[in-house]
Amino acid sequence: MSASLETAVHPENLRRVVIDPVSRVEGHGKVTILLDDKNKVHQVRLHIVEFRGFEKFIQGRPYWEVPVMVQRLCGICPVSHHLAASKALDHIVGAIHLTPTAEKMRRLMHYGQILQSHALHFFHLSSPDLLFGFDSDMSKRNIIGVAEKHPDTAKRGILLRKFGQEVIRHTAGKRIHGTGAVPGGVNKSLSIAERDELLNDIYQIVSWSRDAVHLVKDMHHQNPELYNSFGSFRANYMSIVGLDGGMDLYHGQLRGRDESGNIIFDGVDYQNYSQLIAEEVKNWSYMKFPYLKSLGTEKGWYRVGPLSRVQNCDFISTPLAEVERRDFAAFSGVMPMHAPLGYHWARMIEMLHAAEMIKELLHDDDIMGDDLMAKGERGNEGVGVIEAPRGTLIHHYRVDENDLVTMCNLIVSTTHNNQAMNEAVRRVAQQYLQGHEVTEGLLNHIEVAIRAFDPCLSCATHALGKMPLQVELLNGAGEQLSTMSRSNNGSICAEV
């Protein structure tokens, strides 16, 4: 139903509401809504200006530079790009199997990133909406407000994130833009002192992560009506899963399911991703729309990220997260959960899994080993896929005989979720905006839906509530008749 809101039949003479935040590290996002004079919603679009210049920029550069350079792509999850690029370039140096130390160090880095990213997203960006309500007092609806009202929750959020960053620092050398992974392996392992430092805190981190899962779980149980229906739409979903079908965020094979949870494809080697996925271009959006080739553009779009992963795997290998996964599955019943707010719950289950994995790895002596590099027959093409905090991340490179990159293709998590986020925004517009005067609180509902996906412009969409906002009333010729603008304090004033 909401798909019909992609393009209005008669866009002329509709009011245009634009939610337009300033540009961010990885892109720029805005929402446009066309309303008629009865506030009936006719068209809703989420536009994200994706930064694609990188794929050109990297051409002609030596391949060994790429895993470090590619981190410039995104200030939010540089480690994911670092690892996906390294995995792709392992194929160039013929390192199909890494040494145990290298593989485990990279995993440790990745789980550190999952932990810090999920903690940041939940505690800093989303908990204000969830704890205070979507249209609560805007001046309190932020992390400062959380710190005042729920000081322990806020403090744990900060410490969980900090721990994840420390894991990254010890594995990559720096908290941001480190160099730990190199094509063929890693450049360092942990010293005993580094391992012990992390071991000191990890039990606390696991326990706080479990509390965080319970916090979201309780929200769902207390208000199932809201949590199940808010912006909900049915979709296919995809992720990599481990070779044994269990959750594996670092490595595995591609698996996709339809909206009822039936498997569409499974065990797909991601080196062949381009046979599975294509990207559609739409004239109103800079960001492409990926879809499964077998199902076509109409039916083939899918969702990625925590909500997909927790329901796509057969089990989670770590015990505490597995208990939570089962609870989650029991709550949603026979059908998969499609509600965007379920992302938060799934995200916290993953955070717990990451914490447990870090604990496991810290007890494994391989992470202090000194066999760091593997190599084999030189290749000239490689694909690296990783489950980044926000979803499946694909890096694909070709390298010439002089070691220079000749081709680069990236499909980032936020792009996979392009259609899904648009669907969520349209659903919310129908559920909440339809027939109502537009208020800041109502517009925040739109942002809550976008935020659930944790798109890479997450900071942007969060700050959005404070961004100037314009509503335009246009006449049939597209001329502006009046404007309505929202100031920083949320008050709306009209000018004719």
3-state secondary structure of 246: strand
141 Cβ contact partners less than 8 Å away, ≥ 6 residues apart: 128, 129, 132, 444, 465
Q: How far is the CB of 413 from another protein (least distance, A)?
A: 22
What's the min distance (Å) between Cβ of 402 and another protein? Answer: 4
Q: Which of 112, 145, 164, 183 lies at the binding interface for another protein (CB under 8 A)?
A: 183
Q: State the minimum distance, in angstroms, from the CB of residue 120 to another protein.
A: 21
Q: Contact between 59 and another protein (CB under 8 A)?
A: no
- Name the burial class of residue 193, with classes exposed (0-12), middle (13-18) and buried (19+) by CB atoms within 10 angstroms of its CB: exposed
Query: Of the listed pieces 63-71, 106-114, 230-238, 415-423, which binds another protein according to CB under 8 A?
Result: 63-71
Contact 303, 264 (CB under 8 A): no
- Under the criterion CB under 8 A, does residue 211 sit at the interface with another protein? no
Query: What x-and-dash track marks residues 393-412 binding another protein by CB under 8 A?
Result: ---------xxx--------
456 φ/ψ angles, rounded to the nearest 5 degrees: -70, -10
- Which listed range, 181-189, 216-224, 258-266, 270-278, lies at the site for another protein (CB under 8 A)? 181-189
Which range touches another protein (CB under 8 A), out of 179-187, 269-277, 355-363, 384-392?
A: 179-187
Question: In this chain, which of 7, 32, 187, 380 binds another protein, going by CB under 8 A?
Answer: 187
Measured distance CA(222)–CA(487) in Å, rounded: 34
Least distance CB 189 / another protein (angstroms): 9
Q: Which stretch binds another protein (CB under 8 A): 60-68, 148-156, 158-166, 390-398?
A: 60-68
Compute the CA torsion angle 453, 454, 458, 463 (nearest 10 deg): 70
| C-beta separation of 45 from 30 below 8 A | no
Closest distance to another protein from the beta carbon of 403 (Å): 6
Residue 116 Cβ vs another protein, minimum distance, rounded to whole Å: 18
Among 118, 124, 188, 220, binds another protein (CB under 8 A): 188
Closer by beta carbon to another protein, 258 or else 403? 403
User: Does 177 interact with another protein (rule: CB under 8 A)?
Assistant: yes
Cα separation, 254 vs 272, in Å, equals 10
Alpha carbon distance 350, 115 (integer Å) = 8
* Segment 98 to 157, residues that bind another protein, using CB under 8 A: none
Cα–Cα distance, 367 to 108 (Å, whole number)? 9
Does 288 help bind another protein (rule: CB under 8 A)? no
- Residue 324: phi and psi, rounded to 5, are -70, -35
* 173 near another protein, judged by CB under 8 A: yes
Answer yes or no whether residue 69 interacts with another protein by CB under 8 A. yes
The residue within the footprint of another protein, chosen from 7, 32, 136, 179 (CB under 8 A), is 179
State yes or no: residue 374 binds another protein (CB under 8 A): no
Q: Which one of 8, 13, 36, 61 is in contact with another protein (CB under 8 A)?
A: 61
Give Dmax (Cα) for the chain. 71
Q: Counting contacts by CB under 8 A, is residue 286 touching another protein?
A: no
Asked if 424 interacts with another protein (CB under 8 A), we say no
Q: What phi and psi values does residue 333 have, to the nearest 5 degrees? A: 80, -150
**Kind and range of the H or E element at 201?**
helix 192-222
Indicate the residue among 64 and 265 with the shorter CB distance to another protein.
64
What's the min distance (Å) between Cβ of 323 and another protein? 37
CA-nearest of 79, 299, 303 to 172 is: 79
Size of the site for another protein (CB under 8 A): 25
Which of 21, 29, 67, 391 lies at the binding interface for another protein (CB under 8 A)? 67
- Tokens matching residue 238: 């995809």
Considering the complex, state which of residue 60 and residue 478 has its C-beta at the smaller distance from another protein.
Answer: 60
Task: Give the nearest distance from C-beta 375 to another protein in angstroms.
Answer: 9
Cβ proximity to another protein: between 182 and 240 the closer is 182
Asked if residue 64 binds another protein (CB under 8 A), the reply is yes
Supply 9's token pair.
């039949």
Torsion 81-87-90-92 (CA) sign: negative
- Cβ 444 to another protein shortest distance, Å: 36
> How far apart (Å, rounded) are the C-alpha atoms in residues 258 and 307?
14
Cβ-count burial 20-54 (b if 16+ within 10 Å, e if not): bbeebbbbbbbbbbbbeeeeebbbbbbbbbbbeeb
The kind and range of the H/E element at 126 are none
Which of 117, 149, 112 shows the shortest CA–CA distance to 130?
149
Positions 87 through 106 that interact with another protein (CB under 8 A): 93
User: Binding residues for another protein, per CB under 8 A?
Assistant: 60-62, 64-65, 67-69, 71-72, 93, 172-174, 177-180, 182-183, 187-188, 402-404
